[in-house]
């Protein structure tokens, strides 16, 4: 006897995925941990469009009519600011969460494109320092692998208060990824689950962060820029305080930002989307007359040159990519299908970085899997992806009549939804309505 | 012996000079006058210099020290010798919070009391305290030794990994996964050596040892309330 | 996020130089708090039955004399002494009458503090400027609290500066960041406590005022505060007769205390204490978490 499908009523509150999750928790007695970023739909750059040239505005021709993409970061205090050829950087991802081949590939591609990579919660590896011409060194609550030699080898230092996937949370690396090499770098026993601090050990609060930043400058002879990175929550206050504490660059990571391992509830339910975060950050900078004097890098779900264009139009100086860079290297590529199946997933749906069994060898410490990612080949792919994004960015910027991508402005856009209009303070297309802007 | 007047010549000049000394330099002994609680004194040193701070230091004195011997003749603010790699930092007075935070190596000696979070996140540093330490000391302590001749405040060694703790006086309470452990010959020998290196006159036999129960190393739902 | 300082005199010689000492302590904390600064000085008690209020108006040319004449004509004799853009008004009128009259006739004027002895002076600007604007160094008194501010979640305004006073001779300075102050603010307003800003510290001050009005001693109020106030804090509370210091149970925000035969001092950083005479020989300690430390003039 077959079931009449008309009688099958799904519940919005308790759809099959939620029921499965409840039963998993009932089995395991612990929260679900996974990789990547927020998967549910949130208002984002897809809800904004750019206003190309028309009768009142004139576009630029491709090729001969320049559209420049260079940006300088950190001139506020540093003797050696960072000059990037493109406004797209590679976000912090740890050696430990990623394998050595992946880190090397990121470095090679970034160097070829004239941009930077960033270390993560495990410290700096020689491979990454060698392969990446411009390397930003993170100072995290855990301080794994932190040392003054690497600090001095870095081209910038990034004080990490938090990240978009888990603002208020610390790093996480599960036992099967704590190999001998990772364990040695982090001063941990092999094979245990890493518990991480969520606050810095020697400072709490912006008043103390200012003193910490000064210490870092004293150790690095005031040569290099100091960034402050926050996950997007109370972004207006955070950016204001970061500037007051002495940051040269502020990095704001929206809730779509990825991770290699964090509780699912943290990823999905903490933090605001990148879209309002950019606007809040820029407003804070403008109020202090620091826009373009302290640079803003935004990250969290940047996927294409269109996203980059819109982030810059809202006032960012550059963006950072994490998940997208991994995908360019092969994350979720439809190959090695049996290995995806062994994890209980399919290409396009995989978020199993935390298992260390990455089918494409990106987010793993396992030698047999890592060999699937050849650094040179990975680098070529990432370089191509970055090149493509930059071409997209320039195409859109030229269409808006810009000779430099940083000349994009909010008035070059319109919003497709009321939420995006309110969050980005960009009028709803066809109207001049920004919800809340003029008291209505 | 070179005397440096911090009030006259400033922090930048001090650190730049100390950090810039070449291998052949014979300017290896320094006295810093009028420190007045300034922050980041003698940070990031890389050579086996001797630096005496004549007075009170602010935050992060001796931060990320390598090889140098730094003595603070007064009190030290938060984060003294934070992330130290090697060398010796000695405080004749008290140290504030987070003394020796995330230190990788070397020895930190505090002759007076250390405040809360002494040895937080320590990764191989040895810390010897003549007085007492405050709450949350050795929090997430991964490696190294913390020796306390006085008492320890609440939640000692909370979430500890493999660091070893030796306390002579009272421990107000132990943190998650931290337990008292048996003091064996090798521990007594290590403790003796640490006390000697610190110049502390204390009988190793009066100390008790504390360390990780290792129950939080791999998640087990039955230990969930320790988190 | 800020720096706090406190000084309690045990000898007349220290009382004579209280303003000078607290000013030096305050200026040592300038780096931590560049946005605004303030002090509460306990001095010059008014006779029983009188009220002393410190009033503020942004305009330095405000007609305080006219205001004093108004009080005299309408309520009871009053004098006014200008200090910076604040004014100390002393009157035989009751505080309630004075308050009501001010609301009706001079709503443009703010009440900064009220009581028998307390005088609070606070303003936007770096500590050194605030010290000279109010000529703080010349003040004598029995005890004082000071604060330098780096604003976190509320605006940089005079009203948003510390010390906060929500009760007679009561003031509070705070270093840290509370996490449940919004709901508490609404609740305190329902209990009739007047809270003027969005500042978390003012909520803590209002909470203490409310508990004291319910008959709690300061110690009892602070003990309940440990339970009811969530977040990170080092509090220094000033009362008519002394002061108290309390850190939250996690105690991340710094606090150093020092005591000699001549004074008791507290500060966020030791270097603010180092400026005091005899600091090098003082007994120095850091307050334990969730423990109330207090000093009063009667029971030293």
Element counts in chain C: helices (H) and strands (E)? 9, 16
Please count the CA atoms within 13 angstroms of the CA of B148 that sit on its side-chain side. Answer: 32
C278-283 LR contacts (CB < 8 Å, sep 24+) = C280/B74, C282/C258, C283/C258, C283/C259
Q: Are strands C293-296 and C242-247 parallel, antiparallel or unpaired?
A: antiparallel
Q: Which residues have C-beta within 8 Å of that of residue A253, sequence separation ≥ 6?
A: A91, A162, A163, A164, A165, A229, A230, A231, A232, A274, A298, A299, A300, A320
pLDDT of A1 strictly over 90: no
pLDDT of C197 reads 85
**Most C CBs within 10 Å: which of A207, A234, A245, A246, as the mutation test of the C interface?**
A207
- List, for residues C164-194, the tens digit of each pLDDT value: 887 899 999 999 889 999 999 999 999 998 8
Q: What is the mean pLDDT of residues A267-275?
A: 97
- List, for residues A349-362, the tens digit of each pLDDT value: 999 999 999 999 99
Task: Determine whether the interchain pair B58/C254 forms a contact, defined as Cβ–Cβ distance below 8 Å.
Answer: no
Percent of chain A with pLDDT over 90: 92
What is the spatial distance between Cα A139 and Cα A277, in angstroms, rounded to a whole number? Answer: 22
Give the bridge partners for C234, in sequence order: C175, C247
Structure-block tokens of residue A12: 């919005």
The domain B2-226 is classified under which CATH number: 2.160.20.60, 1.10.630.10, 3.40.640.10, 3.30.9.10? 2.160.20.60
Percent of chain C with pLDDT over 90: 75
Q: Which of A318, A315, A308 is nearest to A394 (CA)?
A: A308
What is the spatial distance between Cα A205 and Cα A335, in angstroms, rounded to a whole number? Answer: 46
Is residue C48 very low, low, confident or very high in pLDDT (cuts 50, 70, 90)? confident
pLDDT of C300 reads 43
For chain A, which residues make up each domain, given as ranges? 32-423
pLDDT of B226 reads 67
What mean pLDDT value characterizes chain A?
Answer: 95
pLDDT of C159 strictly over 80: no
Other Cβ atoms closer than 10 A to C48: 6
Give yes or no for a contact between B104 and A186, defined as CB atoms under 8 angstroms apart: no
Q: What is the dihedral of CA B4, A149, B94, B77, to 10 degrees?
A: 80
Q: What is the mean pLDDT of residues C124-132?
A: 93
Q: Which residue of B has its CA nearest to A176?
A: B218
Give the bridge partners for C82, in sequence order: C87
Give yes or no for a contact between A115 and A86, defined as CB atoms under 8 angstroms apart: yes
- List, for residues A386-401, the tens digit of each pLDDT value: 999 999 999 999 999 9
Distance from CA of A283 to the nearest CA of C (A): 15
Residue matched to tokens 């103390």:
A208
pLDDT of C155 strictly over 90: no
pLDDT of C153 reads 64
The domain A32-423 is classified under which CATH number: 3.30.420.10, 3.20.20.70, 3.40.1390.20, 3.40.50.10440? 3.20.20.70
Give the bridge partners for B146, in sequence order: B127, B165
Q: What is the mean pLDDT of residues A22-38?
A: 94
Q: Which residue of A has its CA nearest to B84?
A: A147
Q: 218-237 in A: which are within 8 Å (CB) of C? A: 234, 237
Q: Which residues have C-beta within 8 Å of that of residue A400, sequence separation ≥ 6?
A: A50, A51, A52, A53, A57, A59, A408, A412
Task: Determine whether the interchain pair B64/A151 forms a contact, defined as Cβ–Cβ distance below 8 Å.
Answer: yes
- In degrees, rounded to 5, the angle at the alpha carbon of residue B132 between the alpha carbons of residues B128 and B134 is 105
Helix (H) or strand (E) holding B188: helix B185-198
Is residue C154 very low, low, confident or very high in pLDDT (cuts 50, 70, 90)? low
**ipTM of the modeled complex:** 0.96
**Secondary structure class of C51 (helix, strand, coil):** strand
Sign, CA dihedral A233-A234-A236-A242, equals negative
> Which domains does chain C possess?
2-45+125-296 (3.60.20.10), 47-116 (3.30.70)
Q: Which residue of A has its CA nearest to C153?
A: A237
Chain A CB contacts of C152 below 8 Å: 206, 237, 241
Residue matched to tokens 């035969």:
C261
What is the full per-residue pLDDT of chain B (227 aa) written as tens digits? 999 999 999 999 999 999 999 888 899 999 999 998 999 999 999 999 999 999 999 999 999 999 999 999 999 999 999 999 999 999 999 999 999 999 999 999 999 999 999 999 999 999 999 999 999 999 999 999 999 999 999 999 999 999 999 999 999 999 999 999 999 999 999 999 999 999 999 999 999 999 999 998 987 767 766 66
Residue A318: C-alpha distances to residues A147, A159, A161, B182 (Å): 28, 18, 19, 56
- List, for residues A328-345, the tens digit of each pLDDT value: 999 999 999 999 999 999
Give the active site residues of C: 2
Contacts of A among chains (3+ CB pairs under 8 A): B, C
Full-model pTM: 0.93
For chain B, which residues make up each domain, given as ranges? 2-226
Other Cβ atoms closer than 10 A to B194: 21
Q: What is the mean pLDDT of residues C222-232?
A: 94
pLDDT of C75 reads 93
Burial state string for A67-89 with b = 16 or more CB within 10 A and e = fewer than 16: bebebebbbbbbeebbebebbbb
pLDDT of C1 reads 62
Distance from CA of A289 to the nearest CA of C (A): 16
- φ and ψ of A176, to 5 deg: -70, -10
């Amino acid at each position: 006897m077959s079931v009449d499908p008309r009688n099958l009523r799904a519940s919005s509150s308790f759809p099959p995925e939620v029921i499965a999750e409840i039963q998993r928790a009932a089995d395991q007695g612990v929260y679900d941990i996974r990789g990547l970023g927020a998967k549910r739909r949130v208002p984002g750059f897809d809800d904004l469009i750019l206003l190309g040239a028309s009768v009142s505005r004139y576009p630029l021709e491709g090729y001969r009519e320049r559209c420049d993409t260079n940006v300088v970061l950190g001139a506020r205090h540093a003797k050696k600011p960072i000059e990037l050829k493109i406004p797209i950087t590679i976000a912090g991802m740890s050696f430990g969460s990623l394998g050595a081949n992946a880190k090397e590939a990121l470095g090679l591609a970034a160097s070829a494109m004239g941009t930077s990579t960033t270390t993560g919660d495990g410290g700096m590896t020689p491979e990454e320092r060698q392969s990446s011409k411009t390397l930003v060194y993170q100072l995290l609550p855990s301080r794994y692998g932190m040392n003054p030699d690497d600090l001095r080898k870095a081209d910038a230092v990034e004080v990490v208060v938090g990240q978009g996937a888990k603002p208020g949370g610390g790093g996480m690396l599960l036992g099967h990824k704590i190999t001998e090499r990772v364990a040695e770098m982090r001063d941990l026993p092999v094979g245990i689950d890493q518990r991480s601090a969520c606050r810095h050990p020697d400072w709490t609060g912006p008043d103390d962060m200012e003193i910490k930043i000064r210490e870092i400058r004293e150790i690095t002879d005031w040569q290099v820029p100091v960034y402050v990175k926050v996950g997007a929550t109370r972004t207006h206050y955070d950016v204001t305080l970061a500037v007051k504490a002495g940051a040269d660059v502020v990095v704001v990571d929206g809730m779509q930002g990825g991770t290699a391992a964090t509780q699912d509830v943290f990823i999905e339910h903490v933090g605001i989307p990148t879209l309002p975060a950019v606007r809040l950050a820029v407003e804070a900078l403008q109020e202090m007359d620091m826009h373009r004097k302290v640079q803003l890098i935004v990250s969290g779900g940047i996927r294409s040159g269109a996203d980059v264009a819109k982030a810059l139009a809202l006032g960012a100086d550059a963006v950072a990519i994490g998940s997208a860079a991994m995908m360019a290297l092969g994350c979720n590529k439809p190959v090695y299908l049996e290995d995806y199946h062994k994890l209980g997933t399919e290409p396009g749906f995989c978020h199993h970085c935390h298992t260390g069994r990455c089918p494409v060898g990106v987010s793993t410490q396992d030698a047999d899997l890592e060999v699937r990612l050849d650094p040179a080949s990975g680098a070529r792919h990432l370089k191509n992806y970055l090149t493509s994004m930059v071409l997209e960015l320039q195409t859109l910027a030229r269409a808006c009549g810009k000779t430099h991508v940083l000349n994009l402005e909010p008035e070059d856009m319109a919003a497709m939804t009321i939420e995006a209009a309110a969050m980005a303070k960009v009028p709803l297309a066809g109207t001049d309505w920004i919800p809340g802007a003029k008291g209505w | 012996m070179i005397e440096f007047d911090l009030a006259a010549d400033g922090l930048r000049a001090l650190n730049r000079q100390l950090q810039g000394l070449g291998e052949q330099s014979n300017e290896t002994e320094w006295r810093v006058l009028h420190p007045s609680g300034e922050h980041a004194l003698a940070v990031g040193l890389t050579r086996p210099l001797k630096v005496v701070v004549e007075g009170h230091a602010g935050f992060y004195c001796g931060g990320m020290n390598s090889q140098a011997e730094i003595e603070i003749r007064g009190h030290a603010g938060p984060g003294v010798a934070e992330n130290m790699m090697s060398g010796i930092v000695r405080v004749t007075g008290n140290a504030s919070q987070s003394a020796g935070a995330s230190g990788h190596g070397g020895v930190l000696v505090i002759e007076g009391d250390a405040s809360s979070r002494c040895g937080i996140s320590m990764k191989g540093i040895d810390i010897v305290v003549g007085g007492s330490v405050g709450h949350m000391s050795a929090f997430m302590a991964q490696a190294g030794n913390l020796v306390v001749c006085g008492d320890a405040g609440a939640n000692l060694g909370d979430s500890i990994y493999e660091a070893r703790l030796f306390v002579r006086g009272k421990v107000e309470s132990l943190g998650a996964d931290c337990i008292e452990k048996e003091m064996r010959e090798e521990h007594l020998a290590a403790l003796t050596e640490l006390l000697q290196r610190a110049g502390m006159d204390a009988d190793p036999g009066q100390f008790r040892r504390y360390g990780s129960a290792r129950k939080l190393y791999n998640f087990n739902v039955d230990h969930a309330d320790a988190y | 996020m800020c720096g706090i300082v406190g000084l309690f005199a045990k000898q007349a010689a220290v009382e004579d130089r209280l303003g000078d000492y607290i000013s030096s302590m305050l200026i040592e904390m300038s780096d931590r708090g560049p946005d605004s600064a303030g002090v509460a000085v306990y001095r010059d008690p008014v006779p029983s039955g009188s009220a002393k209020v410190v009033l503020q108006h942004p305009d330095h040319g405000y007609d305080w004399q006219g205001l004093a004449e108004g009080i005299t004509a309408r309520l009871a004799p009053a004098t006014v002494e200008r200090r910076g853009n604040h004014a100390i008004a002393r009157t035989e009128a009751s505080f309630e009458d004075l308050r009501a009259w001010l609301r009706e006739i001079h709503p443009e004027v703010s009440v900064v503090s009220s009581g028998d002895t307390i005088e609070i002076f606070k303003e936007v600007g770096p500590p050194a400027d605030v010290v000279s604007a109010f000529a703080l160094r010349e003040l004598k008194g029995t005890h004082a609290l000071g604060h330098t501010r780096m604003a976190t979640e509320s605006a940089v305004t005079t009203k948003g500066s510390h010390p906060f006073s929500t009760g007679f001779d009561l003031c509070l300075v705070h270093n840290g960041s509370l996490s449940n102050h919004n709901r508490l603010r609404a609740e305190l307003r329902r209990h009739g406590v007047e809270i003027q800003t969005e500042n978390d510290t003012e909520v803590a001050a209002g909470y203490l005022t409310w508990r004291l009005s319910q008959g709690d001693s300061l110690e009892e109020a602070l003990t309940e505060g440990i339970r009811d106030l969530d977040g990170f804090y080092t509090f220094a509370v000033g009362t008519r007769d002394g002061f108290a210091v309390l850190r939250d149970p996690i105690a991340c925000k710094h606090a150093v205390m020092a005591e000699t035969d001549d004074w008791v001092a507290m500060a966020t950083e030791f270097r603010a204490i180092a400026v005091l005479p005899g600091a090098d020989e003082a007994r120095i300690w850091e307050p334990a978490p969730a423990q109330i430390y207090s000093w009063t003039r009667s029971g030293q």
